[in-house]
Amino acid sequence: MIEGKTVDFVCVDFSKAFDNVLHGQLIQKWDLVCEKRSLNQAATSIFFIGVALGALLFGYLSDKFGRRKTLLLAFLFTMVAGTLASFSTSYPMFVVFRMLCGVGLTGISIISITLSVEWTDVEHRAAMAIIPSPMWSVGNMLLALIAYLIRDWRWLLFAVTSPCLVAAALCWWIPESARWLLANGKTKEAQVSLRKCAKVNKRLGSDLGLSSEVLDKIIDIDEGHDQYWFWHLVKSPGMRKLTFCTGIIWFGTAFSYYSISFSMNDYGFNVYLMQFIYGAIELPAKLITYILLKWIGRRCCQGWFLILTSLLMTFNLFMTKDHPILQLVIAIFAKGSSEAAFTTALLYTVELFPTVVR
């Protein structure tokens, strides 16, 4: 993970792979040892504060101003914050910009999955949500190689952030969500986007179904359509139950996923190899998730993946240090199971909430 790798540079773990960089640069510059060692863990916590803030900020902005524009903003925001973090001259400066990176990265994640799902019918929604996601895993695998080749932490940060600029350029070819346009009364713009979609799918014969009169009937647009706020998530009993349950699911999913990801140094193996393996196991996990989603559904997949992850982590907890290989194998399978739970949660949550508060 980009986040975990950056923390490895900031945290003075003294692993053999990072000794030269840490001793030569960070320790001399910021002196993060002895009584200041607690600042190492603070960097990770502050980053995730940014993740939480990003969910609130970009969730609201995407509902207010549209998915496409906000996704572009998230890419540019992350690029700028990551670049400024690589030029940090002090520890507080670095931590602040890493927190802002967390804000932007969350925006990228939640908006991209929402936009993908809102352009896909129910039958192909699982495929649309899961098939492109292996690029996340490939990125995790490539990070091991990039980090091995680029030992200077400043250039590493710049290298792993720069692809956001390419992604931002590609946003110009991404259409706005037709569901969002309709939910916000922008019938004409939705009509243009849907006709382009029909042309790409060679469904021009169905153009009569895209008339303004038909589109106006798809969704009930009232005068208060743009007044939705976070309190609508708990306004009704049904929404309160949904928000509470999905919140618990996300806590368990994210807690297990990042706990396993950040523990890669605990097994005594090369950190670059561990990063590559942790990324590689996600590929078959996503394939299994796609198959099971079509077979047993979202709820069962979410529940059983979380149960399997907890069982594997619990079993590994009681393993002795005399069996490091077995511990590693269990951790790898736990990582794959947690990734499957994470992938399912992304799709499941997006489908459960209505467009106006998604």
- Per DSSP, the residues of 269-312 read S-HHHHHHHHHHTHHHHHHHHHHHHHHH-HHHHHHHHHHHHHHH
pLDDT at residue 221, as a whole number: 47
CA dist 273 → 68, 228, 256, 270, 279 (Å): 36, 47, 21, 5, 10
pLDDT of residue 310: 92
Looking at the structure, do residues 235 and 206 belong to the same domain, yes or no? no
Q: Are residues 214 and 323 in the same domain?
A: no
DSSP 90: S
Contact indicator for 164, 73 with CB cutoff of 8 Å: no
Cα–Cα distance measured from residue 248 to residue 250, given in angstroms and rounded to the nearest whole number: 5
Of 308, 312, 318, 314, the C-alpha closest to 341 is 308
Residue 142, in any domain of the structure: no
Sign of the C-alpha dihedral computed for residues 332, 7, 48 and 143 taken in this order: negative
pTM of the model: 0.76
Same domain, residue pair 333 and 278: yes
Taking alpha carbons only, the member of 267, 266, 255 closest to residue 309 is 255
Indicate if 289 and 258 belong to the same structural domain: yes
321 belongs to a structural domain = yes
Q: Alpha-carbon distance 76 to 107, whole Å?
A: 11
- Judge if 245 and 338 occupy the same domain: yes
Q: What residue type is assigned to position 17 of the chain? A: A
> Measured between alpha carbons, how far is 160 from 248 in angstroms, rounded to an integer?
31
Radius of gyration of the chain (CA): 22
Domain boundary among 200, 220, 240: 220
Does 155 reside within a domain? no
Contact 165, 90 (CB under 8 A): no
Domain match, 213 and 300 both: no
Of 175, 204, 220, the last residue of a domain is: 220
- Is-contact 297 308, C-beta < 8 A? no
318 in any annotated domain: yes
On the 0-12 / 13-18 / 19+ scale of CB atoms within 10 A, 131 is: middle
Q: Locate 337 and state its tokens.
A: 């199971």
Rounded Cα distance between 167 and 115, Å, is: 15
Total domains in the chain come to 2
Q: Do 236 and 260 belong together in one domain?
A: yes
Q: How far is residue 70 CA from its own chain's centroid?
A: 15
Please check whether residue 235 lies inside any domain of the structure: yes
- CB–CB of 161/307 below 8 Å? no
CA within 13 Å, CB half, 343: 33
Residues 6+ apart with CB under 8 A from 253: 306, 338, 341, 342, 345
User: For residues 338 and 105, is the Cβ–Cβ distance under 8 A?
Assistant: no
* 209 close to 231: Cβ distance less than 8 angstroms: no
Do 307 and 206 belong to one domain? no
Name the CA dihedral angle for 95, 331, 146, 341, rounded to a multiple of 10 degrees.
-70
pLDDT at residue number 6: 36
In terms of phi and psi (left: phi > 0; alpha: psi -120 to 50; beta: otherwise), the region of 4 is: alpha
Residue 193's domain comprises 186-220
> From residue 52, how far is each of 69, 213, 251, 262 by CA, in Å?
21, 41, 12, 18
- pLDDT by residue for the chain (358 residues), tens only, comes to 333 333 333 333 333 333 333 333 444 455 555 555 566 667 778 888 998 899 889 988 888 888 899 999 999 999 999 899 888 888 788 889 989 999 999 899 888 888 888 887 777 777 777 777 778 788 888 888 888 888 777 888 888 888 888 888 888 888 888 888 877 777 777 777 777 777 777 766 555 455 555 555 555 544 445 566 677 777 788 888 888 888 899 898 988 888 888 776 666 677 788 888 888 888 888 888 888 888 888 889 999 999 999 999 888 888 767 777 888 888 889 999 998 999 888 888 888 887 777 6
Q: Is residue 257 part of a domain?
A: yes
Q: Looking at the structure, do residues 197 and 233 belong to the same domain, yes or no?
A: no
